[in-house]
Amino acid sequence: MATVATEIQALTAAAFTTPAKFTDFCHNGGQPLGGIVGGESIAGSMNATFQTTDPGSQEVLATICEMGEAEVAQAVSAASRAFHGDAGQGWRDVDVQERIALVNKLVELCERDRDVFLACEILDGGKVSELAEGDFTQIRACAEYFCGVAQKVAMGDGPALQIGDEARGFTYREPWGVVAGIIPWNYPIVLTSWFMFPALLAGNTVLIKPAEDTPLSALYIAQLAIEAGFPPGVINVLPGRGEITGQCIAEHPEVRYISFTGSPGVGQAILRTCDRHGTRMKREMGGNGSAIVLDDADPEVVGRLVGRYTNQHYGQTCCTIHRVFVASNIADDFVEAQRAFFADLKIGYQADEGTQLGAVVNPTQRRRILQAQEEAVARGGQMVLGGGAAEVSGRDGFYIKPALYRTTPEVDCNPAEVFHTFATVCPVNSAEEALALANSSPYGLGASIWTRDVERGVALAKQFRDGTCQVNCHNSIAYGLPYGGQGISGGPGGGVNCEETFLDYTQVKAVYVTDYPG
Ligand code: NAD
């Protein structure tokens, strides 16, 4: 988290050289990379492949086999066998210390191959190294936190309750069985860890469906899981398109629980499918984050900090700031500070030294963002920085310039999540007016208040209709505090990264017992 004492600058790239191990992994001896099912690489019966590319150069990184209905069924069957155990102990019966030991071994192997993961994030995901390195640390942080939770939460029989003279009852907590994590492209390592570690440590076997734009890190993790000694079928990875592979997972009646992270529209569609099969679902979805800047804030400092958070992963971060409501007495200076911050961002290839704004992930995203920039003006936003396509010499990537608009309370020119360095700034006359405008969005993921009066900030922050409310910071995430959404940004469940997340991957039954009659 940046503070006023440090120089406020955007997350920045160091020069990155592709490690040979990553190249070898992608090349896979000249064969497409298969899905990982039952501890083995499988090609897929559809004979369909897709390519994953570097968004900053459009260079093809790897060819991947797409998993269809038959492979999903095969994976569910392998995961189910691993859960129950063929003859003897299944993953559900493995002692928690043994599960923890395997998770720790996997983390060690990930750290051994840190460069490969950084290459996945930087080259496949299009990130600058400063962000990719931070993301990588989440593998250990997440695993350690949930190892701690797993040792604390009592699985199995709960305390007995005497029910009248004749009966007693108790709760019985157990893992669901086969659970699936459907992952978006913007934070592949982080979101795979957030799903996989609590689910596995609770005793479930997992199917991981990485996004089609960033499948490499999950496939690599699955290879390391085999090396770490996870029993076959405990961790399965099913690459493919959402409407093919993802849909087959959602349709499979033996997938007991789905953890979905992605856009609200897709999450709602999967929920309807899950409802048909009685599959439980956890949903962590998009946002259109807001910041309220009170009249005692320094517009220069806060303007730059808000700009830094807006630009995190070029605005392709679910909780980041896209709507700013600023006290009218400092609005002109704030807009100027943010304009200067955005205008100074170094647009470039994400693996080149100094880049702060790289390419967006794919051409569909580029089209959507450019369209949103035009719509912001059509809806009445006053252009401060107009965006538009950007060129990076020698690189054929999806580059776009930052966009900033000034607006008024009557003009909503930023109604839906735009996944880029894109923000609207609206001058307001009171904190109450700002809160009403911030809370008028159907999203509710992340929001912040910026003020020297921290106590007042805390009181106002609690009034956001968002899962994460911050004072003088944004995009902060800590294990032990829930990260989830309200409104269309979330669904039922405890969010991620807290004890309730672990409980989400378990179910509780009530067991009643009386003596045999007679
Ligand atoms: P997306 O909804 O398009 O896709 C997410 C995943 O769902 C992908 O793996 C995709 O293949 C799969 N999918 C798509 N259609 C499917 C279907 N019919 N059935 C099953 N699976 C299907 O999202 P995206 O574009 O990959 O990611 C960006 C979105 O994710 C943004 O809205 C962002 O805000 C959100 N996000 C939210 C969080 C959070 O924690 N709340 C974190 C990161 C990203």
Which of 82-86, 171-175, 193-197 is least confident? 82-86
Dihedral sign computed on CA atoms, order 83, 65, 275, 195: positive
Residue-wise pLDDT tens digits, 357-405? 999 999 999 999 999 999 999 999 999 999 999 999 999 999 999 999 9
* Average pLDDT, integer, range 145-169: 95
**pLDDT, tens digit (0-9, with 9 covering 90-100), for 203-229:** 999 999 999 999 999 999 999 999 999
Average pLDDT over residues 164-189: 97
pLDDT at 5 over 60: no
Q: Which of 284, 413, 417, 426 is catalytic?
A: 284
- Picking from 197, 181, 214, the residue whose alpha carbon sits closest to that of residue 139 is 197
What whole-number distance in Å separates Cα of residue 215 and Cα of residue 188? Answer: 8
Mean pLDDT of the chain: 96
Q: Per-residue pLDDT tens for 49-73?
A: 999 999 999 999 999 999 999 999 9
Q: How far is the CA of 354 from the centre of ligand 1 (A)?
A: 29
* Coil/strand/helix, residue 362: coil
- Count CB atoms within 10 A of the CB of residue 452: 11
The torsion region of residue 37 among left (phi > 0), alpha (psi -120 to 50) and beta comes to: beta
- Does residue 485 have its Cβ closer than 6 Å to ligand 1? yes
Note the pLDDT of residue 86.
79
CA 305 to chain centre: 22
Task: Tell me the pLDDT tens digit for each residue of 302-339.
Answer: 999 999 999 999 999 999 999 999 999 999 999 999 99
CA distance 194 to 290: 24
| Tens digits of residue pLDDT in 241-273 | 999 999 999 999 999 999 999 999 999 999 999
Does the Cβ of 400 fall within 6 Å of ligand 1?
no
pLDDT value of residue 1: 47
Which of 252, 266, 275 to probe ligand 1 with, by most ligand atoms within 8 A of CB?
A: 266
Q: What are the chain's domains?
A: 38-286+489-510 (3.40.605.10), 288-442+446-471 (3.40.309.10)
pLDDT at 6: 52
pLDDT in tens, 372-381: 999 999 999 9
Q: Which segment of 127-131, 148-152, 296-300, 514-518 scores lowest on mean pLDDT?
A: 514-518
Active-site position among 142, 147, 274, 318: 318
Q: Is 67 in the pocket of ligand 1 (CB under 6 A)?
A: no
Residue 455 in this model has a pLDDT that exceeds 90? yes
Is 318 noted as a catalytic residue in this protein?
yes
Q: Give dist(CA 14, CA 129) in Å, integer.
A: 6
